[in-house]
Structure 1
Amino acid sequence: MNKDLCIHSWPGSYYLDSEKRWVYGKLSLTPGQLAFTSDKEGLTLTSFKLSAITSIKKETSSFIFSSLTVLVNGNEKHWFSSLQPNRTVVFNIIEHFWQAQLLSSDGVEVEASPDRTSKGKQLIHLASSSHQRLEDTAKVLHHQGEQFDRIMKGLDKIESDMDVANRLLTELESPPWWPFSSRLRKAQQETKSQQELPRSASKAFGKEGLILKVPVLYSQGQDPNLKQGTLAVLCSGLEICDSNDQLVHKFRREDVDDVKVQSPYEMVVRQRFIGKPDISFTLQSAKMTDVVSIVEIQYSKKVQFKDDLLGLFSPEDSPVSDSVGMGGSIWNADRPSLSALMLKYKATYTYGREE
């Protein structure tokens, strides 16, 4: 994978500690590095590897400006502010690729880390930060849980009253002395059970036919605010869930009209409509190459690759160069062959190629 490939860049300012002032420029993220370049001189003011980062936090500078701080090698602190579109989006993206770098078991950047001890310290600090976030989240959920308990008690009371009213109405519509009253009640019970069946089937949809599940950053439509979540690739479609594992959107296989691969880390899935806006989701992940390898098989000619990406790779070696919409596949360097993937998922996936 090209280590100089820019995944994201954001306008913002960097606090130059040597001169005690803020400098405007651009913060850039590559697969293994974070760098800031000034607008005026075009100089790289700071640059460090993702594997050297100890922690990433959202803080406030001078009690006024919301900032993003990056701690490098445990003692070198960098301040970034005025980030666009906003601090939360930048934080989510950098944290996603930083965690993927730390938790990966292979790759050049991991091999270039100083030693196993420092890597262990970073992972321990990462777990500690996650634990603190879980504690804060637990407090909020506990407060919300108390409110939900009160709501549920009210709903139970309403449901009980409705059951009584429904029984009384049934008796009025079909009095005991009517010879067919028992048949009427039985028919109503069967109708109710049939209505509940699709609900249980829809809940089990996400657990059946699961091929791959990866952490992902997602946004809907033109919204630039990427949020943390997960993407599940199923035999029957795609499921996007938020950070709490709640379903955000589900693309059934027949709903997907096109999949555009914007970079080795980003793709856009769209469902078209006539007379109303399309439904599209932008998905970014450090594991996107694994996702595209499977999606390329499932959706065949619906997958399109951006033109300027083809020059970064060698599409002539791709085993599916004739079936990709843009004339070649960019995934030949780091993925298994499609025939191997077909054998791997043969038990759970029936391949139907479009003509």
Structure 2
Amino acid sequence: MSEDIRIHSWPCSYYQESSKQWIPGNLSLTPLSIQFRAGETGELLLHSRLSGISQIKKECSHFIFSSITVLERSTKHWFSSLHPNRNVVFNILEHFWREQLLPGQGSGKGRELTGMLEGSQKRLEDTAKVLHSQGEQFDRIMTGLHKIEGDMDVADRLLTELESPSWWPFSTKLWKTPPESKPRETPPTPDPKSREGILLRIPVIVTHGTDSNAKPGKLAVLSSGLEIRDGNSQLLQRFGSRDVDDIRVHTPYEISVRQRFLGKADNSFRLLAARMPEVIPILEVQFSQKIQFLEDALGFAGARRCPQVDSGTSVGQAASAFPGAVVNPRIPTGSGEGMDKEQEQRQKVSQEEAKELRKILQKLKGLALETEAELERQDEALESIGSSVDRATLTIERQNRRMRRLT
């Protein structure tokens, strides 16, 4: 259950309004809520859903102690004496709270799947744009090669006239000088310009090395590695695929990336994000031999690799297989009188979401077909470009030899 996953826990003190006193304990964050348990008794004193929180702020209690306040409806909860410090706790809480608010109203299981498909559609659209731009470049290359071939034909005709001038009464062989025995120089290989494809970019909370300060940032998964930036989009670290020595999945929401060095400290980053479950499957493909699931993340890996979802599973049931899927707390489980209207409303929402899912899937299918056709066209263009380049290279070499004989 996603509600049972503890993303983070911090020692702190909670101000209990009923007793008018500060109670030491632990503040915990799960994908859907924040909880506070008393340190001595372990009693659950607070359980607030992230979707019900309207504000998270940094404040000072009695103008002395730095605190974090969480406003839930008309109730304000105070937390102080936060470890390791207030900024770290605030950054993580605010990150997950804002990510929880992004889906908006009606963010149920079907909504979760719709958001995932919309993200896939956006990435496929971006890929189609890149392919279209690449196809236009191929077309320009083909036009340039055709012009080069035309220029080579003109040069060949002029060389023929120089080799056999109209006033020379003898055979053309007498006019030609023996070829020079200089070694043929191989043209330098041009450096290919790498086109960095961004597979996915998400907001994260970044911790670098042994630094205890967790700060907002961004993680970009590239086709050639990983890129980590700070909150101002300044580059912190760029890992190539070979630079990454291991990736550890601590929880479905937290990973660490490490690059080892001999004779000096390792370069490591710890990344925490509400959308990390979207990134981990991509990392598994790119770094299959380097990724390791730790104890708290083994269940997540097994659930994704062996999903027990049959053909009769509803959209809502399928979404619940993903950690972090949001369950509507207003709809109670069970059966009985008075549930018919709620069940009808839930079924109505599911039908609307299913229509939206079908619409997105149709767009994805169309984009996939267009992408496939464009890729086939570009494959043919690449073969034609390769043949044209080979012909142009041979022609240039032949004409160079002929020109050397004329000098």
Q: By the TM > 0.5 criterion, same fold?
A: yes
Shift of residue 304, structure 1, vs aligned partner: 0.6
The match for 1:299 among 287, 298, 311 is 287
Other-structure match for 1:270? 258
Other-structure match for 2:83? 84
Counterpart Cα distance in 1 of 2:32 and 2:232: 28
Other-structure match for 2:133? none
SS at match of 1:309: helix
Other-structure match for 1:53? 53
Q: 1:313 to 1:246 in 2, by over 3 A?
A: closer
Other-structure match for 2:65? 65
Counterpart Cα distance in 1 of 2:233 and 2:64: 34
Highest RCO, 1 vs 2 (Cα 8 Å, sep ≥ 6): 2
Counting matched residue pairs gives 237
Shift of residue 248, structure 1, vs aligned partner: 0.9
Percent of aligned positions that are identical: 50
TM-score computed with the length of structure 1 as normaliser: 0.61
The match for 1:239 among 227, 248, 256 is 227
Shift of residue 77, structure 1, vs aligned partner: 0.4
Q: CA offsets per residue over residues 305-334 of structure 1, 9 Å max, x none? A: 013432466459449xxxxxxxxxxxx943
Residue type matched to 1:83 in 2?
L
Counterpart Cα distance in 1 of 2:271 and 2:288: 19
* Contact kept in structure 1, 2:257 and 2:269, CA below 8 Å: yes
Q: Does 1:35 align with 2:23?
A: no
Shift of residue 63, structure 1, vs aligned partner: 1.1
The match for 1:255 among 243, 250, 258 is 243
SS at match of 1:254: coil
SS at match of 1:97: helix
* Correspondence 1:1-355 to 2 at 5 A: 2-73=2-73, 75-104=74-103, 108=108, 208-311=196-299, 314=302, 317-318=305-306, 333-334=321-322
Counterpart Cα distance in 2 of 1:216 and 1:7: 13
Q: CA offsets per residue over residues 151-183 of structure 1, 9 Å max, x none? A: xxxxxxxxxxxxxxxxxxxxxxxxxxxxxxxxx
Counterpart Cα distance in 1 of 2:279 and 2:246: 15
Residue type matched to 1:250 in 2?
R
Residue type matched to 2:37 in 1?
T
TM-score computed with the length of structure 2 as normaliser: 0.54
* Contact kept in structure 1, 2:253 and 2:274, CA below 8 Å: yes
Q: 1:250 to 1:103 in 2, by over 3 A?
A: same
SS at match of 1:228: strand
Q: Which runs of 4+ in 1 moved over 6 A?
A: 343-347
Residue type matched to 1:94 in 2?
L
Residue type matched to 2:92 in 1?
I
Q: CA offsets per residue over residues 229-263 of structure 1, 9 Å max, x none? A: 10011111111111111111111111011111000
SS at match of 1:301: coil
Q: CA offsets per residue over residues 55-78 of structure 1, 9 Å max, x none? A: 0000011111000001001x1101
- Greater Rg, structure 1 or structure 2? 2
Counterpart Cα distance in 2 of 1:246 and 1:101: 26
* Contact kept in structure 2, 1:35 and 1:46, CA below 8 Å: yes
Residue type matched to 2:35 in 1?
A
* Contact kept in structure 1, 2:29 and 2:35, CA below 8 Å: yes
